[in-house]
Structure 1
Amino acid sequence: MRLWRARAAGAVAGPGAGGSPAPDRGVGPGLRLVLGLAAAVVVAIGCAKFSTIIGPTVLALVVTICVQPVRVGLERMGLGRAFASAVVIVVILVLLVGFSAALVVSVAQFTTLFPQYADQIHAFEQSIAQWLTSLGIGQQQVEALLGSFDPAGIVGAVSGVVGSVFGLGVGLFLVLALIVFMTLDAGYGRVIARRLRPARPLLVDALDAFTASVRRYMVVTALLGAAVAVLDFVALLVLHVPGAALWGLLAFITGFIPNIGYWIGIIPPVVLALLANGWGNAVAVIVIYAVINGVIQSGLQPHIVGSAVSLNQTVTFLSLVFWSAVLGPLGAVLAIPLTLAVRALLVDANPDARWIRPVLGDVSGLQGTVRR
């Protein structure tokens, strides 16, 4: 009787019951990886489709995260939540509108400045053509190569890139409106986090770490970028390089672009210095830029930011390429915050995925295990 009951229980339980676990017939790791990559591609295509909305939204979110401690400090000083939020909003709006106005004026000056050097550009083309001909390149190939160079195209490219970074026009209005609403809603962030923590503690911790990392990265980058912009502007004024104000603003913007921002910011002033004052002036600009950016952005910034980002150089460069392709120039500026957001949601909030943090660049916990 007991034997019959045991056999009946085994038949009801089915294979794998009791001490021997049933084989896992779910989705395998390979298929999960393929499905994850396919989902990532779909999300990336969707983000690119709505980049004009997503980019300004992320920019407004980053600005709101950076100014949150100021609003909290004002509340601790005795100001009401609404009044503290209003003060922060007014300051942000004044700064953004003033920066955008300066950007518009500088770009307008550049569009009228560059055509003044048409003769110098033509002479430079002739010298390049003679040099290529001396190397044995045929006249037709030289003419085809130089014929594709259009100075007016340079003006349009610089104006378009600089203007599109902060989304002048409708994008700027969207950013300003989102900053107002996000700053007002940020006052309830601590209440939401406190109520969400019992159910999702890992998610709350990941989001707290994300906001702290983004705030430190953006504030330090902005302050050091402003110092670089001012020093570059003064140096260009001393060297009598045309458009010094625009190149100072460009140096500030490109300071947020990892890896290649320095090279984007140095090319236009070097070209203008060469056209206006000759090779010696252009070399002086290169040397001064190398010293200023080398000391501040390559020496001070990595040391100050430290472990706030915890992304290695490969991941940083790939994030720059990816977000630039998805969101355009604004994606290049916001590449690090966007990557930190993805890491917070997919890695930090998931205990099973935290093993990948050292692969991404967080090697702080491995330093003691590395053999010397």
Structure 2
Amino acid sequence: MADERMPRGLVVLLGCASAVVVVTGLRIAAWLVTPVLLALVVVIAVHPVRTALRRRGVPAWLGTVATVAAVYGVIVLFGLVVVVSGARLGELLPDYVERGRELLAHGADVLDRVTGEPGSLRALVESVDTARVLSSVGALLGGLTGVTTNLVFLLALLLFLSVDDMGARLAELSADRPGVAEALRGFAVRTRRYLVVTTVFGLAIAVADTAALWAMGVPLAVLWGLLSFVTNYVPNIGFLLGLAPPAVLALLEHGGRRALLVCAVYVVVNFVGQSLVQPRFAGGAVGLSTTAAFVALVFWGWVLGPLGMLLAVPATLLVGAVLVDVDPRASWVAALVRAPTRRG
């Protein structure tokens, strides 16, 4: 009997073409996929709390209400910090813009002396329109109001996913597709482990950053501590995203030495904690190598936008559960992306 299987090259070509179509669709529907994935991750994170309440005899509806209320409370608290700090930052912007122009002019003079062309860069700096800079920053801050619509959508998703008993659905799925159900349970367990490790490290780093920034007199230390906590979920390069705003403010408020001191603190606390120590725990918890996590960061940031960088690891785990864990023939993919097993 003749072998009717398709040539391997054709299978690979069709697979790549399908992947391009799926990724393109994800980019187009990122406005929907991102909040759904974020809500799913949050529900997975708080599910053990709901289960523990039910084991203690708390009615299911009361456990759901308590869990949703707790999640909503955290989101509202984060929102209040961002809104209040953003309003304060808007008040400080005019003074900072003028100070920024002075620093740029000084830097231009230094570079002019180095290049031997006095006045060339100074003229470029003086041509900067301060009013335009202020209007651009104001528009950026005003654009934060557009998050309100997405936030309402996210809160609704959290409510619906919390009310919907996903455990019962997985139990039903196990009867017909035990392999798929087991892969999804594995995804939930690994995602929860990743969130626990990242949250514990993030809280410790955020507290240290907030205390250091407050001691150095950097404005809005609580906001930058919160930013440090959030960017801790961005693998490998998150500390750079959290470093830029406080370093710039320290430069504008206190000068270059204070800005260098802020950078030194972030290198010691954030870089060492987030980029060197944390991956050893997080990688073992989720089974992703550091390289795979970094590639996932770039890919999901490109597909889903800035929030995709925060969800890079959970999104990769979900794709792995759906495409790799359910198929024993795809185990070679897991061998390429998983964290190496320590021996000894």
TM-score by length of 1: 0.84
1:148 to partner: Cα distance = 7.0
Contact 2:109/2:122 (<8 A) preserved: no
> Contact (CA 8 Å) 1:110, 1:246: kept in 2 or not?
no
The aligned counterpart of 1:3 is none
Q: Tell me, what secondary structure is at the counterpart of 2:147?
A: coil
1:214 shift after superposition: 0.6
Find the counterpart in structure 2 of residue 13 from structure 1.
Answer: none
Query: How is 1:157-306 mapped onto 2 (pairs within 5 angstroms)?
Result: 159=141, 163=144, 168-186=147-165, 189-298=166-275, 300-306=277-283
Bigger CA radius of gyration: 1
CA distance in 1, matches of 2:60, 2:241: 42
Post-superposition CA distance 1:145-170 (Å, at most 9, x none): 88579754884697489x59xx7301
Give the number of aligned pairs: 341
Change (3 A) 1:157 1:281: farther
Q: Is the 8 A contact 2:101 2:125 kept in 1?
A: no
In the other structure, the counterpart of 2:85 is 106
Aligned to 1:56: 35
- Unaligned 5+ runs, structure 1: 1-15, 17-21
Q: Does 1:342 align with 2:319?
A: yes
CA gap of 1:86–1:245, structure 2 versus 1, over 3 A, is same
In structure 2, which of residues 50, 56, 76 is the aligned counterpart of residue 97 of structure 1?
Answer: 76
1:50-103 CA distances to partner (integer Å, 9 max, x unpaired)? 212111111110000000000000000001111111111111111111211211
Is the 2:283–2:289 contact (alpha carbons within 8 Å) kept by the matching residues of 1? Answer: no
Q: 1:148 to 1:354 in 2, by over 3 A?
A: farther
- Cα deviation digits, residues 83-141 of structure 1 (max 9, x gap): 11111111111111121121122122222222212332122111221122223275556
- Conservation of the 8 A alpha-carbon contact between 1:110 and 1:155: no
Deviates more, 1:336-345 or 1:305-314: 305-314
Deviations for 1:306-349, whole angstroms, at most 9, x for unmatched residues?
42222222222221111111211111110110011111111111
Q: Contact (CA 8 Å) 1:100, 1:168: kept in 2 or not?
A: no
Higher alpha-carbon deviation: 274-283 or 168-177: 274-283
Listed as ranges, the matches of 1:35-74 within 5 Å are 35-74=14-53
8 Å contact from structure 2 (residues 283, 339) kept in 1: no
What is the identity percentage for the equivalent residue pairs of Structure 1 and Structure 2? Answer: 38
Choose from 11, 16, 23 the match for 2:3.
23
Any conservation in 2 of the 1:241–1:272 contact (CA below 8 Å)? yes
Q: Is the 8 A contact 2:112 2:121 kept in 1?
A: no
**Does structure 1 residue 135 correspond to structure 2 residue 114?**
yes
8 Å contact from structure 1 (residues 236, 244) kept in 2: yes
Per mean C-alpha deviation after superposition, the further-off stretch among 129-138 and 274-283 is 129-138
1:75 equivalent in structure 2: 54
The residue type paired with residue 251 of structure 1 is S
1:322 to 2:299 alignment: yes
Cα distance change of structure 1 residues 192 and 284 upon mapping to structure 2, 3 Å threshold:
same
Q: Deviations over 1:162-188 (max 9, x none)?
A: x59xx73011111111111101113xx
Displacement of 1:254 in angstroms is 0.8
Name which of 288, 307, 321 aligns with 2:284. Answer: 307
Gaps in structure 2 of 5+ consecutive residues = none
- Say what the alpha-carbon RMSD is for the aligned residues: 2.6
Q: TM-score, normalised by structure 2?
A: 0.90
Matching residue's letter, 1:172: L
CA contact (8 A) 1:89 1:179 kept: yes
Q: Partner of 1:54: helix, strand, or coil?
A: helix
| Change beyond 3 A, Cα 1:65–1:146 | farther
Matched AA of 1:311: L
The runs of 4+ residues in structure 1 deviating greater than 3 Å are 137-161
Quote the residue 1:4 is aligned against.
Answer: none
CA distance in 2, matches of 1:317, 1:148: 37
After superposition, give the CA deviation of every residue in 1:253-295 in whole Å (9 maximum; x if it has no partner): 1111112111111111111111111122112111222222245
- More deviation in 57-66 or 196-205? 196-205
Q: How far apart in 2 are the matches of 1:337 and 1:137?
A: 53
